[in-house]
Each structure stands twice: as structure tokens, then as C-alpha cells.
Chains A and B, each alone.
Chain A
């Protein structure tokens, strides 16, 4: 009987992150990277009071947490599996810890910042 894989855990996070990233990232990248710096959005769109109020709210904080952490898990999973595609076969166990470990750190870090803002 072949051993059951634990991939479902990582694949679920990868899938959820993929959907979130697909839906939300292009618009966000447009805002932070192009529309705002190039003046297509009003200066006040990213102003401190406005954004800290949003990020400090329950909905805003949760939204940011979901977007950032799920994107981390999505990217970690894809990058890890890409190593195999590039021919890395030995030491994959170490890479697995590095990739998913980084996603975990990103998740925890995001949670801490969101809580900081929530209780500020």
C-alpha cells in the first residue's frame, strides 16, 4: 500500500492563494505600483490616516492578512515544486522547510502587524 501524501494541506493553501492572487493582485499592483505613483490616483488615496483606518479595521485587517499570507503559501508551493522541474532532486527536504517555512514566517509576521494595527 503506497504511503499517503500530505500534499492536500499545501495544495489547498496553494489553490486558495492562487484564486485570491488571480482576483486581487493585478488591481492592487496597478494601484501601488503605477496608478498612485504616476498621479492617476489622488495623492490622498494612500494617505496614512485613510489606510491605517482601513488596515486597523476588522474587515480591512482580515482582508490584508488573507491576501498577503495566502499569496505567500501559493508562491512557496509553486516555487518549491519548480525546483523539482529545474532538476533539483537531492536535498528537496531542506528546500521544503525553507519554502514553506518562509510562508509560515510571512503569515505570522502579517498576523502580528494586523493585530498591532487592530489594537493600536
Chain B
């Protein structure tokens, strides 16, 4: 039986009460910048499909100081997303048996970062 006259503490501002929660909210907030970048890419794709002139318009935007500033923010967000994504990846990974032992979380995390580094390198090389 539940007690009477209990006091329920309000949740408002909960994410400001513990740095761990603030870090979580920043992680979630990175999604806004990822969405923004998806829109930038979509704009580029649309401009590309519209022909050389419209595409040049997008390239002109990329050269603008506003774009560079925006991209810096997006890069920080995307980097934080990548970092936190692989940190939590082991939590959703079913236990993978390696002989008699389970694949340790750190191995999964490092494997993630290694894949990221490889993929990034390939993209940068192809772009060059």
C-alpha cells in the first residue's frame, strides 16, 4: 500500500542537475545538427539535379563564411555523435562468444572507432 502525503519532486530542469544528464542532452541535441547537414546535402543534391548553374549556387554557399561556421558546429556535433554512438554500441550488442569468453565491451568500442577511421579515410581519398 502506498504511503500518504508523500512529496513528489518536480522533474523540471532535471538535465541541469547532473553533468552526466547534461552530457546526455548534448548527445541528443547533436541530432539537430545532423538533420541540418542532411538538409545541406539535400540542397546540394537538388541543385545538382537542376543543372550546372543551380549546382554552382550550392557551391557558392559552401564557400561562404556562414557555411564554414555552420559546418564547424555540425562537425563538432557529428564528432560527438560518432564518439557517443560507439561508446553505447556494446549495450545493444548481444553477447558474442569468442570461444568460452564474451567479446569485451572495449573491443566493440575500439572496433567501432577503427571502422570509422577506415571509412573516413576511404571517403577522403575518394574525394581527393
Q: Which residues of A contact B (CB under 8 A)?
A: 15, 18-19, 21-38, 41-42, 45-46, 48, 51-52, 55, 64, 67-68, 71-72, 74-76, 78-79, 81-82, 85, 87, 106, 109-110, 113-114, 116-117, 120
The docked-state distance in angstroms from the alpha carbon of A64 to that of B59 is 17
Instruction: Give the interface SS of chain B, mostly helix, strand, loop or mixed.
Output: helix
Contact of B128 among A28, A32, A41, A106 (CB under 8 A): A41
CB pair A113–B37 under 8 Å, yes or no, is no
**Which residue, of A18, A29, A48, A113, has the highest number of chain B Cβ atoms within 10 A?**
A29
CB pair A68–B28 under 8 Å, yes or no, is no
B45 within 8 A of A: yes
Interface size on B, residues (CB 8 A): 50
B106 within 8 A of A: no
Encode contact with A along B61-84: 1 for CB under 8 Å, 0 otherwise: 011000110111011001101100
**Closest Cβ of chain A: how far from B10's Cβ, in Å?**
10
Contact of A79 among B31, B70, B81, B123 (CB under 8 A): B31
Q: Contacts of B81 on A, CB cut-off 8 Å?
A: 18, 21-22, 25
Q: Contacts of A68 on B, CB cut-off 8 Å?
A: 38, 41-42, 45
The docked-state distance in angstroms from the alpha carbon of A52 to that of B45 is 9
14 A-B pairs within 8 Å (CB atoms) are namely A15-B92, A23-B120, A24-B119, A29-B78, A33-B72, A35-B127, A41-B128, A48-B56, A51-B48, A52-B48, A64-B41, A71-B35, A78-B31, A110-B42
A23-B115, A68-B41 as given contacts; A75 in contact with B75, CB under 8 Å: no
CB pair A52–B55 under 8 Å, yes or no, is yes
CB pair B42–A109 under 8 Å, yes or no, is yes
Q: Which residues between 92 and 120 of chain B lie within 8 Å of chain A, taking CB atoms? A: 92, 112, 115-116, 119-120
CB pair A31–B42 under 8 Å, yes or no, is no
Q: Contacts of B35 on A, CB cut-off 8 Å?
A: 71-72, 75-76, 79
